[in-house]
Amino acid sequence: MFLRYFIRRLLYVIPMLLVVTLVVFSLILLIPGDPVVALLGENATAEKVAQLRAELGLDQPVLVQYGEWLLKAVQGDLGKSIFTQEVVAETVLERLGVTFQLVTLAVLISFVLGVCFAVASIWRPGSWLDYLARFIGTFGTAVPNFWLAMLLVLLFSVKLDILPATGFVSIHESPLGFLQSAILPALALGAFGTAQITRQFRSALLEVLDADYIRTAFAKGLGRMTVIWRHGFRNAMLPVVTTVGLLFGNLLGATVVIETVFSIPGLGQLAVNAILQRDFTMLQGVVLVMVTMVLIINLVTDLIYAWLDPRIEYD
């Protein structure tokens, strides 16, 4: 039963991926500006422009361009950058490692802080911890991440001079260097997630604590914190799993801004540079990888549901 559900979800991914990539491929071609003119310069002759356009395949209909690109993409060939002649697949996978490390740290921070704030709020209702959790739930949702990023840089990099304002060190090179370089962008990136998880988990815990089996646990003389962690935590985690899954996908898109602010060489910065240079081939590769990552994350989120709640049926 579980295997059948897993295979069915995988089959759903294929047509969804085709539709999304076709739409994105078409929209990318509508971006103002001509990559051929940007590459040759405005003074290029019409003959040279037509020749280069034919070499790049940009003179063909959109569906033909998409079909050729998709056929190569299935084989792992995403082409070469129009401007740098870099192999798109290699460049995107290299940048993906940077972005994945940053997003994973941001999600981890969001989850830990969100759960801690929610539990603290439920543990002492009406206390300053409760009001702090509510404030964080509102603050993190309302504040733009780029504004928070600039505040963090101003405080910890300019004023206190304890953390770097730009750059990135991979966790494989130096775990300590990774934390020093990634903590500020991860905090800016994860502020929204912290707010969402705090609100979702707090609401879920309040609902779970009204259940009959929770009242029975209290009647047995168990303490409030013991009941929350032993009986309420797992049952209240289902909506948080959904939030984390959606959050991972949202943060992948939000890295476009954060990586630009902190000069991090990830997928976000690569996408921005590709847009500015009208490098359609590179941009299509970035979008394909991001879309695929989001679909995989959604699938993993559904599978985690089965582990948390075996009562969920998949037929």
Domains in the chain and their CATH numbers?
2-74 (no CATH), 88-308 (1.10.3720.10)
Q: Which position has the higher pLDDT, 226 or 89?
A: 89
pLDDT in tens, 256-297: 889 888 989 988 888 888 888 777 788 888 888 888 888 888
Which are the contacts of 80, defined by CB distance < 8 A and separation ≥ 6?
A: 86, 87, 88, 281
Q: Are 190 and 110 spatial neighbours (Cβ–Cβ below 8 Å)? A: yes
Residue found by looking up tokens 């750059």 in the block? 167
Backbone dihedral region for residue 200 (phi beyond 0: left; psi -120 to 50: alpha; all else: beta) = alpha
> How many Cβ atoms from other residues are within 10 Å of residue 160's Cβ?
9
Q: Which position has the higher pLDDT, 113 or 249?
A: 113
d(CA 166, CA 269): 13
Q: Residue 178 — very low, low, confident or very high, per pLDDT cuts 50/70/90?
A: very high
pTM: 0.80
pLDDT score for 129 = 76
What average pLDDT does the segment 143-165 reach?
88
What is the share, in percent, of the chain residues with pLDDT greater than 70? Answer: 85
3-class state of residue 303 by DSSP: helix
